[in-house]
Chains A and B, each alone.
Chain A
Amino acid sequence: MTEKQPVISIRNVTKRFGHMVAVDNVSLDIREGEFFVLLGPSGCGKTTLLRMIAGFELPSEGQILIGGQDMAGVPPNQRPINMVFQSYAVFPHMSVADNVAYGLKIAGVAKPEIRTRVDEALELVSLGGLGQRMPDQLSGGQRQRVALARGLVMRPKVLLLDEPLSALDAKLRAQMQFELAELQDNVGITFVTVTHDQDEALSMACRIAVMNKGDVAQLADPADLYEHPANRFVADFVGSVNIFEGKLTVDEPEQAVVDCPELGRVYLNHGVTGAHETTVWVAIRPEKITMLPAGKAKAKDSPDGHNVAHGQIKGMSYLGDITIYDVKLESGRSIRVSRPNLSRWDQEDFSWDDKVSLQWHPTSPVVLLS
């Protein structure tokens, strides 16, 4: 992959509201043409960061560059970016076409060109023919498309989207995730999206910056984020995970062992590069654990009793495609295990209070140093 020139450069940006630090010394680059997602829980500073890029909030410290140009002192109406607001902010007193044409009229684009560009933009978001409707005659999904078209028609360097799907119902949201990603691919404009929904982020993004308390906790592509979380916050926020505290007892280039009082000894087939006897955390995703009837654990997969644990099923929730089990380990801790329901008939091979053994592959656990 070739390194593209960053279209947005955020350099040591801090934003304070009174004594509260909303964004804490954040630096990151957003590359031209990518679908970039800022992911995090509410109050993590992601929306503030987006609004600073748009120019509605001003950084207390640091610089924001768009297309290599410092944006300090540049008001929002002169920035080469456009925004899709969480509430969509479709002007209620203007028709759909007038909404989309608003920015072009201000830019002084010639009337015939406005017409063709508005039609194109509406076609692009599948609203062709609805130009004369008023916003109150549209559904929520359609209004969002108007907001999208209104931004895209300006051909900005970057389109900012603030929680674009949060006001839609679940089914429409899933559909729009695909459409947005496809749209972004078609128009080639850089998208920067803010969301608190990890599914949304994983399915749409080229790269994701996970934010926590004003800080970027990790910046990576979706698969990396899920399989190689950098810390407990990311592991826990993105997807579902079991985390156990332990001590690093063996750490060699080709193998490592973590002693977890609540889980047992965890063996990994790669090194960790942490100091001996330091406290670390082991994270295992529920789907990466194999559940077997008690005593059926395969000895060859657990040399010296590594990577195996025993317990009793205390809870089950059947979700259709998978079933999630809550297993109480001998140590008293609970662990979450999920199993795909591969067959239509044998869903109930495990039940409440069954004694089970849990096993996992040496590549499955992730060791987290913080």
Chain B
Amino acid sequence: MQDWKRQKAAFASIAVSPVAWLIAFFVLPLAIVWLYSFGRNVGLTEIDISGTFSNYGRALEPLYLEIFGKSVAVAALTTLICLIVGFPIALAITFAQPKWRPWMLLAIMLPFWTNLLIRTYALITVLRTEGYVNKSLGWLWESASGLKVMVGMAPLSTWEPLPLLYNNFAVILGLVYVHLPFMVLPLYAALDRLDRSLIEASLDLGAGHFRTLTQIVAPLAAPGIISGVIITFVPALGAYLTPDLMGGPDSQMIANVIERQFKRANDWPFGAALSFLLMYATFILIALQALRNRKAEARS
């Protein structure tokens, strides 16, 4: 590592453009939003930055607190499901034959590379009332009903398609669908780093697989599990598209409320305040994670 003073010209020619870009097109826009969050609407397009905290005050109203709470709960549930589904997958990839491993990773990653909107749309097409899930269930229901008639029993009542879309269930399913790869990759990275002989030693000393998992694998893979949880939770918390397209009237998340302030309600200062609250929540989680990593690094 060189001190910038020793090669000022080289440093300047390298540093100026990325730093300038970052300041002009990232820091500055965020700063404007931040300032707006302390302002109020005057007229249709004018915003007066008066230093008021009323926007933040409004965000604490029960209506919005509830939406915040709900977003956190939905994101947490999504993360938990991803962890439960993803952990065995990560374990399977780790212990697969080396020639299979890249293909399994690719199989998990490929949907992740596919456009988020299209994945959501794909899920909608199979979940809607005329979608495949309901049609298959309906067919099973009819068959069961037919079977009952055949053995001389009363038929089942007529099949009512399940409401699989436009509710909280759909939002969580959609978020899990979209975020699963986020969880699997860090888990896989952590498990892959794990020295296999530690697992073997535990088995050798008489522990069963479940005990080895809870006492040896989980504690040693903890950093990977935590980063997987955060990497999944953060985007799930800020999700816009999934609740927008798959949610019902009561499955709004923060991002949808923010969008409404900017696009429909036209209350930019309030939207700015909400969006900074969401950002603060994100930053706190990421800072905690970074702190943990630094501590772990200092220890080793």
The reply to whether A and B meet directly (CB within 8 Å) is yes
Chain A stretch 70-85: residues in CB contact (< 8 A) with chain B: 75-78, 81-83, 85
Q: Does B101 contact A (CB under 8 A)?
A: no
Chain B residues with CB below 8 A from A55, complex form:
203
Chain B residues with CB below 8 A from A87, complex form:
195, 197
Known: A87-B195, A92-B220. A76 touches B208 (CB 8 A): no
Known: A77-B208, A106-B211. A89 touches B201 (CB 8 A): yes
- One digit per residue, 1 when the CB lies within 8 angstroms of any chain B CB and 0 when it does not, for chain A 106-131 equals 11000000000000000000000000
- The reply to whether B200 and A154 contact each other, CB–CB distance below 8 Å, is no
- The reply to whether A103 and B205 contact each other, CB–CB distance below 8 Å, is yes
How far, in Å, is A189 (CB) from chain B's closest CB?
15
- The residue from B206, B208, B216, B220 contacting A107, defined by CB atoms under 8 A apart: B206
Q: Does B167 contact A (CB under 8 A)?
A: no
- The reply to whether B205 and A150 contact each other, CB–CB distance below 8 Å, is yes
How far, in Å, is B198 (CB) from chain A's closest CB?
5
How far, in Å, is A335 (CB) from chain B's closest CB?
44
Q: What is the interface residue range for chain A against chain B?
A: 20 to 34
Q: Does A86 contact B (CB under 8 A)?
A: yes
- The reply to whether A89 and B200 contact each other, CB–CB distance below 8 Å, is yes
- The residue from A56, A78, A102, A150 contacting B200, defined by CB atoms under 8 A apart: A56
Chain B residues with CB below 8 A from A106, complex form:
205-207, 211
How far, in Å, is A59 (CB) from chain B's closest CB?
17
Q: Please, how many angstroms separate the alpha-carbon atoms of A15 and B242 in the complex?
A: 52
Q: Does B7 contact A (CB under 8 A)?
A: no
Q: Does A268 contact B (CB under 8 A)?
A: no
Known: A77-B207, A85-B197. A102 touches B202 (CB 8 A): yes
Q: Which residue of A lies closest to B201 (CB)?
A: A89
Chain B CB count within 10 A is highest, among A81, A86, A93, for A93
Chain B residues with CB below 8 A from A136, complex form:
299-300
Q: Does B51 contact A (CB under 8 A)?
A: no
- The residue from A76, A92, A107 contacting B204, defined by CB atoms under 8 A apart: A76
Q: Which residue of A lies closest to B97 (CB)?
A: A18
Q: Please, how many angstroms separate the alpha-carbon atoms of A77 and B208 in the complex?
A: 7
Q: Please, how many angstroms separate the alpha-carbon atoms of A151 and B204 in the complex?
A: 9
Q: Does B219 contact A (CB under 8 A)?
A: yes
Q: Please, how many angstroms separate the alpha-carbon atoms of A107 and B216 in the complex?
A: 16
Q: Does A205 contact B (CB under 8 A)?
A: no
Q: Please, how many angstroms separate the alpha-carbon atoms of A166 and B146 in the complex?
A: 71
- The residue from B200, B206, B216 contacting A85, defined by CB atoms under 8 A apart: B200
Q: Does A64 contact B (CB under 8 A)?
A: no
Q: Please, how many angstroms separate the alpha-carbon atoms of A81 and B208 in the complex?
A: 15
Q: Does A226 contact B (CB under 8 A)?
A: no
Q: Please, how many angstroms separate the alpha-carbon atoms of A76 and B202 in the complex?
A: 9
Q: Told that A75-B203, A106-B205 touch, could you supply 19 new A-B pairs with CB distance under 8 A?
A: A76-B200, A76-B204, A77-B203, A77-B207, A82-B205, A83-B200, A85-B200, A87-B195, A89-B197, A91-B201, A93-B219, A102-B205, A103-B205, A103-B206, A103-B207, A106-B206, A106-B207, A136-B299, A136-B300
A-B CB contact pairs (8 Å), 5 listed: A89-B197, A91-B220, A93-B220, A102-B202, A150-B201
Top 3 closest pairs, chain A to chain B, by CB: A103-B205, A89-B201, A89-B197
